[in-house]
Amino acid sequence: MSTRLFGESVQRVEDQRFLRGEGRYVDDVLVGTTGRDMLHAAVLRSPHAHARIVDIDVSGVLDLDGVHLVWTHDDLDGPMAEPLPLLIPHPSLTHGRTQYALAKDEVNYVGEAIAFVVADDRYVAEDAVGRIRVQYEFLPPVVGIAAARAAEHLVHDDVPGNVGARLEQENGDARAAIAAAPHTLSLDLTVERSASTPLEGRGTVARWDPDIGRLTVWTSTQTSTGVRAALAAKLGLDLGRVDVVTPDVGGGFGVKINHPWPEELLVPAAARLLGRVVKFTEDRREHFISSAHERGQVHHVEVGFDDEGRVLGLNVEFWHDHGAYTPYGLITPIVTSTQLLGPYKPGAYRVVFESLYTNTVMVTPYRGAGRPQGCFVMERTMDAIAAALGKDRTEVRAVNFIQPDEFPYDQGLIFQDGRELEYDSGDYPASLQRLKDLVGWDDFPKLREEMAREGRTVGIGLACYVEGTGVGPYEGAHVHIETSGKVKVATGLTTQGQGHATVFAQVVADVLGVPFEDVDVVTGDTRRMPYAVGTFASRSAVMSGSAVHLAALRAREKVLRIAADALEASEEDLEIVDGVVSVKGAPGSGASIDLRTVAVLSNPLRYAFDEASQAATQFSVGDPGKPPVAEDDEPGLEGRDFYSPQRSTYASGMHAVIVETDPETAEIKILKYAVVHDCGRLINPMIVEGQIQGGVAQGVGGALYERMAYDESGQLLNASFMDFLMPYVTEVPERIDIDHLETPSPLNPLGVKGAGEAGVIPSAAVFASAIEDAEGPSHPGLVITAMPISPSELFHLRQVHTEESR
């Protein structure tokens, strides 16, 4: 028997290429002789947060040597001149607005695209951008949630109160439950803006082939099929004339699921008009001010609970800053409002949010997509209850857990995909016990005392979350066994470093009984798999993993059918080992046929072209009295299938951290970080752990370093990696202790749940908990209500606390 690969920490097949600098990103496409005639685009972006455009003068540009094209909104027509699509409408999004590919009459954030230039190279293109003169009439900018709520000024004239959406959900009567509860608390909690900040920004290359009338677009996206559909619609092309290819992508983390970006339309349009290859590669400053941000929310919590800390009623109001436009609908605040509940079952729950316009970069999901905020709110609430009752924080959580025998558990709400928020499986008490063991929760008071004797201040915190993963509607896969015996797999969703080529090959190798090395996986190429959704919401393993599995099963069925015919055996008696089909229990001894030969037999050709096809002549398959390809069959050894689940599957996890806070400088140091993670069955534990480690690193950034610093005029003050403090390897824990719990999902054939976002979800919550705990002895009652937190801010909290306690 071949070794089963599912569950094995198979080394990533991608890494040799990446580590040797052989990755091919959008900026590498058509570089060299094939791209000799390539032109380069640059974009004039608004320097003002809110202004009417009175006049744009491009007269100084076209006489610049090397400039081929300059466009403003006036130059666009048809669908290109319409606003960009609102990708995910929602009945509650009563005032959704999207931007134009190039601003029409008004700009609503610093960075909004106004004019588009194509030139011989990016240098000339930027020179040209510098020559465009725009006359503005300034409007008052609305920056921050407080200003948006105050609505003294409006972002969009026709959106009263700056409110894009208001959505309320309730399960039970939360306000009545709180009123009747023995104890109540209220909390105000804030999470600041941050962003995905992938190391590779956005980028698009387009080539129009006039000979065959086809457009090929390479773009750094999380959804090639989405871009393709949008492009065809906007450019007025038949879908069949547009191919979108996603080469290697240097990180997405959510920002690249939004589409089409203005440049994703303008570059292909320019390539078609000019008959030249056109490239746009976003630079870092552009990424900060013209892609998307997330996380900025302000929350008010009312909670009623009993003597044990059991939550009887929970009422949460929050305000979501969605920036200037709403192309991605309400996904982020809906996720916060539903996933806030985590592993708990409050007696009654009400949540209401307002999604607000501000004159800042628009907001679309960033890894975690509203969950980090929800987790922060819920876990801060749990910590506050524990503090109020003088109970251990783990005990308060434990009494609120959904129990293992309560699954499937319906939270009585509607999730972001429009389906019921029904948890499929999980074991939260077991997770908590493992986490306590892993981090040394019960021994921590001893450590605290020891450290205190050395004059050191340490604290411990924990946070729990549940994550709906693998949202629909579907993914598909195509598996093709070639006459070389090699297996070609295509799935339509894209890859940004997750290791899809490894895990999907593991799944296929197991089903088909072929060596892992013989399986080759392609993602995100609409020429190979035109039906797909995209890579987001921790859905690839669940969705494409399942689809790949189903498609491989179909290919296997056909292999066995043909082989059974050729070997004159029964299908049930056959097995495939190392690419050879033979009768079970007698490999090597009885009759056998290898997959190469089966592949030849599947496609009844007239001509023998290699050894495998010559070998195939010794077998005869099919009924001589019938057509060579049966009516219900087709030539080729292929399988294609789709997976479309009824609802999401719910992964969960718990993190704990021990931090040290410096009594003098308020610096925050991570001493230990522990994770217990449950994403159902693990296809490749090493890849899951990599996802967790990357997520924790990103979470450390979000909790302790990263923020978007806007001034009141709407200028982003830290639009560079010098001032936007993405952590280095020196700032993230050297080691993360990880333990896995595997409660399989009953919803998909592999029993898997998503793992991509998990690591980042509890960060703000767990650090707030631990830092507050560390400060407890010296500043009893000091409460952390806003994240991220810097040493300077912790120092101020201490000062305020000391003054207040005087």
Partner 1 sequence: MKPAPFSFVRPQGLQHALEALAADPGAKVLAGGQSLVPLLSMRLAAPSTLVDINALPDLDHVRVDDSGVRVGALARQADVLGSDDVRRVQPLLSLALSQVAHATIRNRGTVVGSLVHADAAAELPMVLTLLGGSVSVASATGTRTIPAAELYAGPLESTLHHDEIAVEALFPGLGPGEGVAFEEVSRRHGDYALCGVAAVVRVEGAHVAEARVGYMSVADVPTVVDLTTALVEEVAQRPSRRARNQGELSDQAVSAAAELALQHLDPADDLHASSAYRAQLVRVLTAHALRAAHDDAVVRGGAPG
In sequence order, the β-bridge partners of residue 577 are 580
Closest CA to 731 of 639, 650, 669: 669
What is the separation of C-alpha 376 from the centre of its chain, rounded to a whole number of angstroms? 19
Q: Is position 778 an interface residue for partner 1 (rule: CB under 8 A)?
A: no
State in angstroms the smallest separation of the CB of 107 from partner 1. Answer: 21
* Part of the chain binding partner 1 (CB under 8 A), chosen from 235-243, 277-285, 372-380, 612-620: 277-285
| Closer residue to partner 1, CB minimum distance, 18 or 728 | 728
| Closer residue to partner 1, CB minimum distance, 577 or 725 | 725
* Part of the chain binding partner 1 (CB under 8 A), chosen from 10-18, 437-445, 635-643, 660-668: 660-668
Q: Is position 127 an interface residue for partner 1 (rule: CB under 8 A)?
A: yes
Site residues for partner 1, 519-578, by CB under 8 A, read none
Helix (H) / strand (E) containing 337: helix 331-339
Q: Which of 796, 800, 804, 805 binds partner 1 (CB under 8 A)?
A: 796
Q: Give the CA radius of gyration of the chain.
A: 28
| Cβ neighbourhood burial of 731 (10 Å; 0-12, 13-18, 19+) | middle
Q: Which of 104, 122, 175, 640 binds partner 1 (CB under 8 A)?
A: 122
Q: Is position 723 an interface residue for partner 1 (rule: CB under 8 A)?
A: yes
Q: Is position 792 an interface residue for partner 1 (rule: CB under 8 A)?
A: yes
| Closer residue to partner 1, CB minimum distance, 290 or 411 | 290
Residue ranges with strand state E in 148-225: 163-171, 183-191, 203-209, 214-219
Q: Is position 120 an interface residue for partner 1 (rule: CB under 8 A)?
A: no
Q: Is position 123 an interface residue for partner 1 (rule: CB under 8 A)?
A: yes
CA distance 280 to 203: 5
Site string for partner 1, 608-647 (x = CB under 8 A): ----------------------------------------
Q: Are 193 and 294 in contact (CB under 8 A)?
A: yes
Torsion (CA) 568, 572, 577, 579 in degrees, nearest 10? 60
Q: Are 543 and 476 in contact (CB under 8 A)?
A: no
* Part of the chain binding partner 1 (CB under 8 A), chosen from 355-363, 438-446, 515-523, 722-730: 722-730
Helices first, then strands: H and E counts in the chain: 19, 29
| Cβ neighbourhood burial of 95 (10 Å; 0-12, 13-18, 19+) | middle
What are the distances in angstroms from CA 670 to CA 38, 770, 789?
48, 10, 14
* Part of the chain binding partner 1 (CB under 8 A), chosen from 244-252, 281-289, 575-583, 690-698: 281-289
Supply 786's token pair.
């806003």
What are the distances in angstroms from CA 502 to CA 10, 14, 206?
8, 7, 29
Q: Is position 47 an interface residue for partner 1 (rule: CB under 8 A)?
A: no
* Part of the chain binding partner 1 (CB under 8 A), chosen from 89-97, 121-129, 211-219, 570-578: 121-129
CA distance 70 to 270: 10
Sheet of 39-45, strands arranged across? 67-71, 113-119, 39-45, 278-281, 203-209, 214-219, 242-245
Q: Which of 285, 300, 456, 801 binds partner 1 (CB under 8 A)?
A: 285
Q: Is position 451 an interface residue for partner 1 (rule: CB under 8 A)?
A: no
User: How many chain residues are in contact with partner 1, going by CB under 8 A?
Assistant: 30
State in angstroms the smallest separation of the CB of 532 from partner 1. Answer: 33
| Closer residue to partner 1, CB minimum distance, 477 or 659 | 659
State in angstroms the smallest separation of the CB of 668 from partner 1. Answer: 11
| Closer residue to partner 1, CB minimum distance, 1 or 722 | 722
| Cβ neighbourhood burial of 778 (10 Å; 0-12, 13-18, 19+) | middle
Site residues for partner 1, 682-711, by CB under 8 A, read 705, 709
Sheet of 51-57, strands arranged across? 106-107, 51-57, 133-138
State in angstroms the smallest separation of the CB of 306 from partner 1. Answer: 42
| Closer residue to partner 1, CB minimum distance, 18 or 123 | 123
Q: Which of 183, 715, 791, 801 binds partner 1 (CB under 8 A)?
A: 791
Q: Is position 86 an interface residue for partner 1 (rule: CB under 8 A)?
A: no
Q: Which residues bind partner 1 (CB under 8 A)?
A: 122-123, 126-127, 130, 283-285, 664-667, 705, 709, 717-718, 720, 722-723, 725, 727-728, 730-731, 790-792, 795-796, 799
